[in-house]
Structure 1
Amino acid sequence: MNISKRVEQITPSSTLAITAKAKQLKQEGHDVIGLGAGEPDFNTPSYIIEAAYKSMLEGHTKYTPAGGMQSLKEAIQQKLQNDQQLSYSTDELIVTAGAKHALSLLFQALLNEGDKVVIPAPYWVSYPEQVKVAGGVPVIVESKEENEFKVTPEQLEASIDERTKAFILNSPSNPTGVVYSKEEIKALAEICLKHDIVIVSDEIYEKLMYQSTVHVSPAQLSEQVRNQTVIINGVSKSHSMTGWRIGFAAGNQALIKGMSNLASHTTSNPAVMAQYGALAAYQENDDAVEEMRQSFEGRLEKSFERLQQIDGVECVKPQGAFYLFPNVRKAVESGGFTDVDEWAKTLLEEEKVAVVPGSGFGAPDNVRLSYATSLEQVEAALDRIERFIQKHKK
């Protein structure tokens, strides 16, 4: 049976592939340390679980509007006001089955065949694939490691033509963990305003910021920029709710309505009990969120210090998320490997450490290491990586 061309062009997720291989080795009895998955290792806070359970007992198990419950939209509305001093009507909000779903609906609602989306590399693996599935053309702009993996206004302007429809800004970034400053975001936003380009601001790691770094959304800069921006966010990373699949988008009312119409004919509403869990997450205090953030920051400091001691590895220090994105090109070359993909594959086979090759993120000299696991596991993995590099050094 022939499948559609839109499906044939999709590149499988490298993060899911490496995680699946690591799980297989674990099932075979191997002592595998997985640094591939992009999710917190903490359980969802108990008050959220209890709220979802209570909602089911009370009979909240039926359909909701496709764009999400009104009460949850109002909680998101309040969250945006409290955290970022941003005012949105509930008609400018949609609740989705995860932030990934919000992005997918956005590109389908925004793009016509052949429209272009500027994507800075390194990028989250699903950005280019979602753009392609929506009929768009991903335009990859390679940021420089010496510039902390941040794309410059000059690079953005040079990538724009008459078919450019949107620019993706992911801060804090997956996979690099870097954070754009207010001044850097303002300079990029001015280019987008000049060319009437939608700013897709993926803020899913907003709550995971370190070293007193302050998160800035483009929508906070001015009313004009706010009107040109679509915020993507959710509870997956902030509240350790990856499996609950609740995200949201905030933006232009007509665009949000289009996204809701798409959802009504595809997924319908996100799971209602998960919506009640997210409602509790946004209505209750953030003590659990702050405790997770502090734990991640402690892991970052210690794991980054250890990583710097490994020969053949260089790394830009992250300011957010829960990833390290070291350049291992020197280790690859000294070990006689063809490329980073082969190096990572052999590392998993020999030392049972799962890392994600940077090729899937548009950065073939790097690997992504997640420290969303215990510090003991991360340190043990880094010891194995150092041993692996020394073993293959020529």
Structure 2
Amino acid sequence: MKNLENLASDFFRSIAPSCIRKSSIVFSDRVKKTGEYINAINVAIGNISLPTYPAMLKRLLFIEDINLKKGIWRYTQTEGIDSVNQTFKKIIKSFLRPGLAPELFTMVDTGASHVMKLVMLGVCGNFNGINRPIMMLDPVYTNYISIGQELGREIVAIDRELNSDGTFGDVEIDTIEKIIEEKNPSAFLIIPYDNPSGTLMTQETINKFAKICIKHNIFFVSDEAYRGLYYRDDIKFAPSIWNISEDEVPGINAAKIRISIESFSKLFNACGLRMGALVTDNELFFEQARAANTTYLCPSCIDQYIASAINDEDERDIQNWIGSLRFYYKKILSELYIGLKTLMPDLIVTQPEAAIYSMVDVRNVVKPGFDANDFVMYCASEGSVEISGVNYTLLVAPAAGFYKNKNRYANTQMRIACVLSDKEMKLVPELFVKLLKEYENKRN
């Protein structure tokens, strides 16, 4: 039954794989079809390959919970077990500036992506017959765009452009105010440690945005999956909506507008654990989020048990762990930048201040009509480079999938996730440049 017309919905028939997953699907089909022996260096998706936090691994290998050992794996409460909720609170607390103690209501969920969906269900959409969008900065993590399409939720995106020096332009407060007046959003979502741009949002900027949200009485949502992964030496405390003080932003505590999206994937090298959380200072929003999530019963009891190992850790140990990740990623990102610019100086390459991604723009080195998606599909379906007797290809993410608005340079940009071993990441510049030249030579 190949034709889905009149059988499947318009949405289902029109949906395409995510820009961060599509290349791996195409490559997998290639290998199955041809039987070709080729190694794919997959930096299209932020799938961390580093070992997880030791206490979590120990808890998995030496299970002490009696019911889990007996194979009695029952549903937990919808919001998750108390110990894992305390874990998320403890992680946030370990980042707080002295004197700050926000009241937090937490609900764990099956990964941050599901939390994104739940948040978008709650903060935007139909308000007494008026459709109100959620406001974000463009480019934005592609899953928000996809989830918005799935839910029928409108996204208003504020343009940012990748400059020729590898930096993204700042967003003016006046621009945000104008969009709020014109589009009437019900929430403003930020990613302080930005995916995909690698831009770091300072606490001062977060505070300015918080004042706008209080002024217009809209939710202030922050995706803090990469909290603590910053690479500037002048940062003493991790920028966060939970590091907003009453002195700096009067009324922030009474406003009850803060929501953060939390994840174990990046800070604890546990992408496959699928453990995220919704955290808010608004008790009613928490209660309604829990009510909405009862449909999905609960997160995995096993994943919750493993994640709650962090609750027994000292806050200093948590911060030391994240500090070691900062050191690692700062080195990897720097080496990637140097490698790409050395081999092809006219590439535009970001020098990330946060998160684990680099953006590359080839607009200065390719012929007119270049399409990053076509290049990515070429690498996945037929591209091959031999290095030291081994055949490789490279999987990256076309940046057009991260732009909600039309951007004049989106089709020449790609995102690289620095998630593989040091040895594998060292191959990325050579593979990227050789495959790009190979592809350009094949184009008319």
Asked if Structure 1 and Structure 2 have the same fold, meaning a TM-score greater than 0.5 normalized by the shorter chain, the answer is yes
The answer on whether the counterparts of 2:40 and 2:394 sit within 8 Å (CA) in structure 1 is: yes
- After the TM superposition, which residues 232-243 of structure 1 pair with which residues of structure 2 at under 5 Å, given as runs? 232-243=261-272
Match of 2:27 among 22, 29, 36: 22
1:124 paired residue number: 141
Q: Please say if 1:218 is aligned against 2:241.
A: yes
2:260 paired residue number: 231
The answer on whether the counterparts of 1:25 and 1:32 sit within 8 Å (CA) in structure 2 is: no
- Matches of 2:327 and 2:28 in 1, distance apart? 28
Deviation (angstroms), 1:15: 0.4
- Matches of 1:383 and 1:231 in 2, distance apart? 38
Aligned length: 390
More deviation, 138-147/356-365: 138-147
Q: Please say if 1:297 is aligned against 2:330.
A: yes
- Matches of 1:341 and 1:149 in 2, distance apart? 24
- Matches of 2:133 and 2:15 in 1, distance apart? 17
Q: Please say if 1:197 is aligned against 2:218.
A: yes
Deviation (angstroms), 1:55: 4.5
Give structure 2 stretches of 5+ with no counterpart.
1-5, 385-392, 404-409
- After the TM superposition, which residues 235-274 of structure 1 pair with which residues of structure 2 at under 5 Å, given as runs? 235-251=264-280, 252-266=282-296, 268-274=297-303
| 1:10-57, Cα deviation, whole Å (9 max, x unpaired) | 553110112223344466311322211212111323420222454465
* TM-score of the two chains, using structure 1 as the length reference: 0.90
2:101 paired residue number: 87
| 1:187-207, Cα deviation, whole Å (9 max, x unpaired) | 222222222221110000113
Q: Please say if 1:137 is aligned against 2:169.
A: no
- Matches of 1:94 and 1:104 in 2, distance apart? 14
Match of 1:112 among 111, 119, 125: 125
| 1:271-297, Cα deviation, whole Å (9 max, x unpaired) | 112112111134323354443332222
- Matches of 2:145 and 2:174 in 1, distance apart? 21
| 1:223-278, Cα deviation, whole Å (9 max, x unpaired) | 53352220111211101111111111111111111111111112x11111211211
More deviation, 153-162/124-133: 153-162
- Matches of 1:84 and 1:9 in 2, distance apart? 44
* TM-score of the two chains, using structure 2 as the length reference: 0.80
Q: Please say if 1:358 is aligned against 2:438.
A: no
2:67 paired residue number: 59
Question: Residue 139 of structure 1: SS of its match in structure 2?
Answer: strand
Summarize the Cα distance change of 1:11–1:119 in structure 2 as closer, same or farther, 3 Å threshold: farther
Summarize the Cα distance change of 1:323–1:162 in structure 2 as closer, same or farther, 3 Å threshold: closer
Identity among equivalent pairs (%): 20
- After TM superposition, the runs of 4+ consecutive aligned structure 1 residues lying more than 6 A away are none
- After the TM superposition, which residues 329-340 of structure 1 pair with which residues of structure 2 at under 5 Å, given as runs? 329-333=363-367, 336-340=368-372
- Matches of 1:244 and 1:196 in 2, distance apart? 36
- Matches of 1:10 and 1:222 in 2, distance apart? 43
- Matches of 2:310 and 2:10 in 1, distance apart? 40
Q: Please say if 1:158 is aligned against 2:178.
A: yes
Aligned residue identity for 2:364: K
- Matches of 1:19 and 1:56 in 2, distance apart? 37
Question: Residue 92 of structure 2: SS of its match in structure 1?
Answer: helix
The answer on whether the counterparts of 1:347 and 1:385 sit within 8 Å (CA) in structure 2 is: no
- Matches of 1:117 and 1:42 in 2, distance apart? 34
Match of 1:35 among 38, 43, 57: 43
- Matches of 2:289 and 2:109 in 1, distance apart? 9
Summarize the Cα distance change of 1:241–1:357 in structure 2 as closer, same or farther, 3 Å threshold: same
Aligned residue identity for 2:371: D
- Matches of 1:8 and 1:204 in 2, distance apart? 31
Deviation (angstroms), 1:390: 4.3
Deviation (angstroms), 1:2: 3.8
Question: Residue 179 of structure 1: SS of its match in structure 2?
Answer: coil
Summarize the Cα distance change of 1:4–1:199 in structure 2 as closer, same or farther, 3 Å threshold: farther
Match of 2:431 among 362, 367, 384: 384
More deviation, 234-243/324-333: 324-333
The answer on whether the counterparts of 1:77 and 1:88 sit within 8 Å (CA) in structure 2 is: no
- Structure number with bigger Rg: 2
Question: Residue 427 of structure 2: SS of its match in structure 1?
Answer: helix
Q: Please say if 1:168 is aligned against 2:168.
A: no
The answer on whether the counterparts of 1:77 and 1:87 sit within 8 Å (CA) in structure 2 is: no
| 1:101-141, Cα deviation, whole Å (9 max, x unpaired) | 11111111233333201121111111122233333211122
Question: Residue 55 of structure 2: SS of its match in structure 1?
Answer: helix
Aligned residue identity for 1:385: F
